Chain A
């Protein structure tokens, strides 16, 4: 057992470090450092920067235009990225549909879609959840009926992140109502410009517009945009399970950015003659979180090592997601706490709107509020626990 990188890996680390030093603009760095969530345009710009360097798809194999890196290289890339206050890449195209397309898609689909995922000329939204099908996704009702060389799709999706900017949506639909729930589901690649699609915004608790309802009314989707086989849509998600390990591990690394943000904030807050950061009680809370982050990091590293060795890491991806989201919630809570009474100032009223607010508001409160969604989306933490109990503990 050792933690040493090979000489090649060390060289790669230096290369990555130099890249981030040279390519993260001050503006972007400041946004990340203050815990501001990026706008889609900023994600796109960052993706283009990476693409310009040949690093658009760090988890994809080289044959599909990815970097073909080992899990260790990916880890190095992500930790250097986090260290340099670079943003994380937006994941829905790159991690949620790209791998399904290169694994199960036709050569035409790969040709048509993969390059623009890498260049971010296409923005993909995930159209899975429905009002009646959240945790119980397999009960989804959006219907796709074959009509010649098209599917006619009618139904409703909800919580669709960034549908308002998406050019495409990968969408689970029901193509057969006569078979077992999972067996009647297919995966369609839908052009958002298609007739019959209506997007309605939903504001979330952080008062931002990320998610939407997507109404599909007799939307005609070419059969050529069926991914894989009809009725197999449900099973394609499994290629993502293995990949989630890496992503979960990378997200863990990002928590360090928040620790820096919280420390910066606490350093500037006075408690009598001291700074808040120098009070025992605050230090103690921060230390507790940092200690749990070390545990998360090493869980991640072990998982990664398993991936390198081609071993099954059991439930650890789910465990990482649970621990990551819980820690994100705690660290953003601590950020709000550090902010003190400034947290009560979410926005200026009246003529001076747009002026900066003290305590870096509203970012602490927005981040805290947005962190609440991380234990709900992508399979709620309750569902993750069910999965661990059932699949790996045999309960």
Chain B
């Protein structure tokens, strides 16, 4: 057993930390979101130059062919500096979704993603589907040798800036069937596609898509059984997201601890009050718990499906909860100033709120965890 990073990963961690120090300035962040930008394109270019955008892309496709641990190291840094760059969607989720795509598609998109020039995201969630990956009402019908898609994708993470969408659509069966889901590649400027852009409380730029007979550019993987690929890609994305949460939580812990030591009330540092000391201890414990859970999730990505599903859902549920606890308490212990938009604290809370929501909340993942548990038990019995 070994939770240590390799020397190369250490190096990556150092360079992520340096990047955070140089580019993670909160005042600049506020100016950027006030100007209505989705993220800092300069940062993105720089990340591309450092090779990070290709970490999860195989070498044969122009990437670095890194491991989930490498991705984790980068995501922690992103979480720590509140970066809004669409790393998870374009650089973790998309490469995994494109794993079974035709060579021509991979050749067009993956090197571009690694170079930071192409943005791809997943358009999965539908108005009546809540968090369920197999709920697909959007239909794809054969047309002129390809497919045309009709339906609504109600929450597309980073969708406002994407050039391409990976769209799960139904090619047969009923709306909740696991079979009959096929992944398609759709261009953002395709005819019949209407995109409404929205920003989150965390200032991420998302979108809602309405597809009305939109011609797909390509079919990704095999017809009717896209769900397995989708699920695996989402699990990898969740693991990356959780690392972001850990980075954000650690940042909040450090800020709060620092504040407890410097803020004076009643003639003493507020950190001398035992009630706050205990709360601070709970915050630190929550950070440790979240980190442990995230390691567990990252290391599970290579396991067989049920074991992986169990691990990912356990981590998603628990990191969400501990993240919210740390976010809430960091605001509380800062008092009034913690509620100000001018301080980073509440922005981390909002980010953690959105992370808790992304790919399904704790309730959803508790249910998935139970499902995986039960299936594993059945497997054992058999």
Contacts and interface: CB of A to CB of B under 8 A. Distances in A.
A205 B338 CA distance: 9
Contact of A343 (B130, B208, B342, B357): B357
A350 B340 contact: no
Interface stretch (A43-51, A91-99, A264-272): A264-272
B198 A346 contact: yes
A377 B336 contact: yes
B353 interface: yes
Contact of B176 (A272, A343, A369): A272
Given A159-B336, A205-B346, A205-B349, A348 B197 contact: yes
Interface stretch (A110-118, A128-136, A245-253): A128-136
A38 interface: no
Given A134-B335, A347-B199, A368-B353, 18 more contacts: A134-B265, A135-B266, A158-B336, A202-B342, A204-B340, A205-B331, A205-B350, A329-B328, A340-B131, A341-B154, A344-B200, A344-B206, A345-B198, A345-B200, A346-B199, A352-B196, A373-B339, A386-B275
Q: With a 10 A CB-CB cut-off, give which of A276, A282, A372, A386 has the most chain B CB atoms.
A: A372
B2 interface: no
A337 B198 contact: no
A376 interface: yes
Interface stretch (A20-28, A183-191, A315-323, A357-365): A357-365
Contacts of A272: 130, 132, 135, 176
B89 to A, nearest CB: 13
What 5 A-B pairs have minimum CB-CB distances, sorted nearest first? A205-B346, A341-B155, A203-B341, A136-B265, A270-B128
B65 interface: no
Contacts of A372: 328, 331-332, 339, 346, 349
B146 interface: no
Contacts of A345: 155, 198-200, 206, 208
5 contacts: A205-B339, A349-B36, A349-B199, A376-B332, A386-B275
A139 B264 CA distance: 11
Q: How large is the interface on A (under 10, 10 to 19, 20 to 34, 35 or more residues)?
A: 35 or more
Contacts of A373: 339
Contacts of B201: 207, 343-344, 346, 362, 365, 369
Q: How large is the interface on B (under 10, 10 to 19, 20 to 34, 35 or more residues)?
A: 35 or more
B315 to A, nearest CB: 19
Given A202-B341, A357-B198, A342 B336 contact: no
Interface in A127-164: 129, 132, 134-136, 139, 158-159
Nearest to B347: A205
B185 to A, nearest CB: 22
A381 B332 CA distance: 9
A358 B198 CA distance: 11
Contacts of B322: none
A365 B346 CA distance: 13
Contacts of A352: 196
Nearest to B345: A205
A380 interface: yes
Interface string B131-160: 110010000000000000000001101001
B204 A369 contact: no
A185 to B, nearest CB: 16
Nearest to A269: B130
Given A337-B363, A349-B160, A352-B196, A136 B336 contact: no
A365 B176 CA distance: 29
Contacts of B357: 340-341, 343-344
A203 B196 CA distance: 27
A342 B131 CA distance: 11
A345 B206 CA distance: 7
A366 B73 CA distance: 33
A47 B90 CA distance: 53
Interface in B245-288: 264-267, 273, 275-276
Contact of A349 (B197, B336, B353): B197
A342 B155 CA distance: 7
Contacts of B36: 349
A96 B197 CA distance: 44
Contacts of A342: 154-155
A219 interface: no
B125 interface: yes
A378 to B, nearest CB: 11
A76 to B, nearest CB: 34
Contacts of B350: 205, 369
Contact of B363 (A136, A158, A281): A281
Q: With a 10 A CB-CB cut-off, give which of B125, B335, B342 has the most chain A CB atoms.
A: B335
B340 A202 contact: yes
A271 B160 CA distance: 26
Given A203-B342, A276-B130, A336-B353, A134 B336 contact: yes
Contacts of B154: 341-342, 358
A136 B130 contact: no
A375 interface: yes
B354 interface: yes
Contacts of B130: 269-272, 276, 340
Contact of B155 (A139, A281, A344, A349): A344
Nearest to B336: A159
A375 B332 contact: yes
Interface string B296-313: 000000000000000000
B81 interface: no
